Amino acid sequence: MRAMANWHHAVAHIDADSFYASCEAVRHPELKGRPICVLSNQNAFVVAKSYDAKALGIKTVMSVHDAKKLAPHAAYLPPDFQFYGQISAKMFSILRRYSPQIEVYSIDECFMDMNGIRTLWRKSYRQIADDIRESVKREIGITVSVGIANTKTLAKIASESNKPNGTSIVPGKHIGRFLAGIPIRDIPGIGHSRAALLCKFDIRTAQDFANTKESLVKRLLGRLGLTLWHELNGQPVLPLEVKPPLPKSVARTASMGEITTDRTTITAHLSRHTLRLVSELVAKKLLARRLRIFLTCKSFEAASIEIHMDFPTNSLKKVSAAVKQAFLTLYREGEVYRGCGVIATHISRQESATEDLFGLMHEDVRQQRLMLTVNDINQQHGNHTVAPAAARLMQKPQARPARFQYPVFMAR
């Protein structure tokens, strides 16, 4: 293993300990001292368990029947993913205080960019990791484990190696020693079959793997193997993905709450969907390249049309025009309709767009600013305070009326 500076690069992996069971323990203090098992949706299997339940031999995906034989006194609770999501959001908001650069990896774990963070807090990595654990414990009541190392893979192995409620710091100089105690199958990404293959070559610990010749690693495990090999040797290859993944689509669809043949009513609903869709795209800085517009008939049969935009866009003007064009093609006089919707697909990020492509996107930028203002007003004064004129023509407004009546907003 090559000699290297201790902290040429630093990343933390923060992982809550038996998260679902810990969330349940937070809201059921009366269960203190009892093992906790969280069950699957149909209450058939154990999907998560506390450490004391694990100590009794209960495993994830064990049937409730078998688990109860091992631990009749444990608490068996149905899952409440909404609640776990709320605790998760609270946890990430605490973590963002320490470093804004966070890759949310799952509901209960993340990677955190630690470069420059010691200077910011005037503390060692160990002190920062301990602070993080204490803040989460004090403010939410659950414990997390923290690993800090040169790369994401090392940080993840580090946090895993000292659970629950532990801090594990691996400076560059100590990587070799640290990896010597890690069996090969504990490297994230190395499954059973890969571990078995490596064992044939006498590669049994993570340290053996890191010391293996690059060419052999490539021969045995290909590109994935090389990535892991670099990461285990303290050379960061996997970047921090701080942005949330792009959605496949953004949709605004609904039944109209009535069946109608009335062109104006349907247009009003479509206008409202369009405004809300564009509002979301602009707020999330996303662009759409295609739009699917559909009308659902009384028989639940749907007719739809896909429109390819010339450029990725989130301009209300352009999206409205496309929706209008589609509506004119789809709408049939005399047909009874019950629902409609607009779905944006082929989503990309605003920042990755070739801005000002021949000046064609100039107008879009103006539209974005307008939309952001509309969003602000609607957030402060209630949804639909500002809405396109056509949406005002709906016969039965779905939302409660706004507190103030602002001038009707026209998208020109």
Residues 292-351 that bind Mg ion (CB under 5 A): none
Sign of dihedral through CA atoms 39, 45, 49, 55? positive
- Long-range contacts for 23-28 (Cβ within 8 Å, ≥24 apart)? 23/80, 23/83, 23/84, 23/87, 23/142, 24/75, 24/77, 24/80, 25/50, 25/141, 25/142, 26/87, 26/140, 26/141, 26/142, 27/83, 28/75, 28/77
**Parallel, antiparallel, or unpaired: how do β-strands 167-169 and 144-149 relate?**
parallel
| Site membership for Mg ion, residue 280 (CB under 5 A) | no
Q: Do residues 409 and 292 touch, judged by C-beta distance below 8 A?
A: no
Work out how close the CB of 99 gets to Mg ion at its nearest, in angstroms, rounded to a whole number: 19
Which of residues 16 and 326 has its CB atom nearest to Mg ion in the complex? 16
Residues 29/13, Cβ–Cβ less than 8 Å: no
CB of 54 to Mg ion, least distance (A): 13
Site for Mg ion in 7-26 (CB under 5 A): 15-16, 19
Q: How far apart are CA 78 and CA 143, in angstroms?
A: 21
Token reading at 161: 């190696």
- Per DSSP bridges, beta strands 46-49 and 249-260 are unpaired
Shortest distance, position 159 Cβ to Mg ion, whole Å: 9
Q: Which is nearer to Mg ion, 108 or 280 (CB)?
A: 108
In angstroms, give the least distance from the CB of 104 to Mg ion.
13
User: Does residue 160 carry a catalytic annotation?
Assistant: no
Q: Are 251 and 344 in contact (CB under 8 A)?
A: yes
What percentage of the chain's residues is helix, strand, coil (to nearest 5)? 45, 20, 35
Q: Report the distance separating Cα 382 and Cα 13, nearest Å.
A: 40
> Residue count at the site for Mg ion (CB under 5 A)?
4
Nearest distance, CB of residue 15 and Mg ion, angstroms: 4
Query: Which residues inside 28-47 make contact with Mg ion, applying CB under 5 A?
Result: none
Q: Which of 161, 109, 160 is nearest to 132 (CA)?
A: 109
**Which residue in the set 24, 103, 108, 364 belongs to the binding site for Mg ion (CB under 5 A)?**
108
Residue 393 per-residue DSSP state: G
CB of 123 or CB of 163, closer to Mg ion: 163
Question: The tokens of 155 are what?
Answer: 């940080």
SS3 302: strand
Comparison of 51 and 331: residue with beta carbon closer to Mg ion = 51
> Which residue's CB is nearer to Mg ion, number 164 or number 397?
164
CB of 106 to Mg ion, least distance (A): 8
Q: Applying CB under 5 A, which part among 2-10, 100-108, 263-271, 343-351 lies near Mg ion?
A: 100-108
Pick between residue 164 and residue 382 the one whose CB is nearest to Mg ion: 164
216's enclosing H/E stretch is helix 214-232
CB 396, min distance to Mg ion, A: 47
Q: Which is nearer to Mg ion, 19 or 125 (CB)?
A: 19
Catalytic residue among 24, 103, 109, 280: 109
Tokens representing 76 are 């068996």
Query: Which residues contact Mg ion (rule: CB under 5 A)?
Result: 15-16, 19, 108
Active-site positions? 109
